[in-house]
Structure 1
């Protein structure tokens, strides 16, 4: 899997200017759901960091909407500039132990959303994604209502100065898109093919049974083992965070094609006319996406979700998972996609300085 270099962070001793705000949307589809036209509040949800007192105060998934996958998105301490969002994928193998895998993943995302949303009200420092994951993980481990289970997780925080930090544990992941290109793709963490790093809660009784009789191994990583990466986003950058229900069926280039189509159809990207065929960003359109009839992050999230859903059900289209199976186990003869639960969150960065520059640009009088 290609690993793109991170953009350099700015280094300054002066307090950073809070020029960025963020527009978000989440989309999901449980494996058991048939393909359908996405409906708001059923298949996709929208969120903006500029909304005052949003109701509900943050986005979080429900089991009926996304199955064993979960997602969340929220402002940090009701800020107009700082956001946190992410996904978690309940490890399906726990079903063999009589455990609902969604308990762990949905509990984790709900706790991350609530913790981030009220964090600075308590007078603490800035939210960091690995700390946020650790805090939620500790709460899940201590919660007697979540008896057992496991999950992968990918989450990000973005601040008003355009600084982004991510924590990734397992085989969910994220992509960052600039105009017409994949600027960054996260690396997956696996023990072996189809065996991702995962947080686990194994009850003492089950641990004792395994010690005596053996049985399946429960891998048990902690948030301390998550990959942490920092980036600097730019006006109009698109961040896509998703579970392996997306990445097992869509490659980075597949996803770029989807994003490009949506961005070009909406007039957010265009192709230069100078013969270089360079993809250009329409800075004015990005600055005004709050006022568009078709909310851009929702269009992107639903397009990615639908394409991953259709690819997973297509028995003739070999996606990344099929190619990996055929590489590691050629005798299997795997053909087609991999049906799975899907959760995806899309975030679009908006730099208010760009919109302000456009508004202040002098208009030439007609002679």
Structure 2
């Protein structure tokens, strides 16, 4: 969609549990989130008149309810973290539950970052079957964005393996430094480059350091190198409505 981004990351702690499928749980969560957001542009739907009132926590809550119903019918178990962002005019509305994350880059610097939610080290907030956490537990943010701002959303596999300066370095490979604040950024950026760099760190256990390693050490755990994990990266650039290929 032109006005929203979302990432859900199935929690790996279900490994070995009968009928557990956290990957499917997370995919369904984003599938139903997409359906819920679509309702706000359907003139025949009740939500159409509430277009500017959309709340990402409400979207997560409704999606979560649908996934739980599917899980009951299909007999699956699982849980997921999630980060959902929706743009209305110049306001970016964010709901972040767990250790996925969102960042906004403006003229080569981070101007906004979410913070991860952890019950304890490497035990993120999550929603799923048998979980005490709820969508309402998500952190909620509203941030004013500008034309040319770069919005980056990723799973913990990204932020556990790359420091902020690593992410900015990859972004700046594709975005030349603007000569004036009004200079727009390119319409697209390859998130694959950032994901590849994070994956490279995640597979290295001897000759590199990582944010996850630093946090582990702070908590009294020994860990060397990156953290092997699934890595998801989404990137969008804020544009004026007339610049958008979707004018709805």
Query: Which interval holds the TM-score relative to the shorter structure?
Result: 0.7 to 0.9
Structure 1 residues 220 and 348 mapped into 2: Cα distance closer, same or farther (>3 Å)? same
- In the alignment, structure 1 residue 97 sits paired with structure 2 residue 97: no
Q: Deviations over 1:56-97 (max 9, x none)?
A: xxxxxxxxxxxxxxxxxx24xxxxxxx121101101111221
Shift of 1:282: 6.4
Describe the shift of the 1:310–1:164 C-alpha distance in structure 2 as closer, same or farther (beyond 3 A): same
Counting matched residue pairs gives 234
Verify the 8 A CA contact 2:153 2:233 in the aligned structure 1. Answer: yes
Q: CA shift at 1:353, angstroms?
A: 7.8
Q: Which of 1 and 2 has higher RCO (CA within 8 Å, sep 6+)?
A: 1
Report the alpha carbon displacement of residue 147 of structure 1 after superposing the two structures with TM. Answer: 2.0
**Corresponding residue for 1:182?**
110
- 3-state DSSP class of the match of 2:194? helix
Partner of 1:107: 28
**Greater mean deviation of Cα atoms: 319-328 or 226-235:** 319-328
1:237 is aligned to 2:165: no
Alignment-derived partner of residue 129 in structure 1: 56
Q: If you compute each CA radius of gyration, which structure gives the higher value, 1 or 2?
A: 1
Q: Distance in 2 between matches of 1:193 and 1:254?
A: 23
Q: Quote the Cα distance in structure 1 between the aligned partners of 2:132 and 2:17.
A: 16
Structure 1: which 5+ residue stretches go unaligned?
1-73, 76-82, 203-218, 273-279, 290-295, 355-367
* Runs of at least 4 residues off by over 6 Å: none
Verify: 1:118 aligned to 2:39, yes or no: yes
* Aligned equivalents of 1:236, 1:90: Cα separation in 2: 31
Q: Following superposition of structure 1 onto structure 2, how do residues 209-228 of structure 1 map, counting pairs within 5 Å?
A: 219-228=131-140
Match of 1:170 in 2: 98
Q: 2:148·2:184 contact (CA, 8 Å) conserved in 1?
A: no
Q: Structure 1 length as normaliser, TM-score?
A: 0.60
RMSD: 2.0
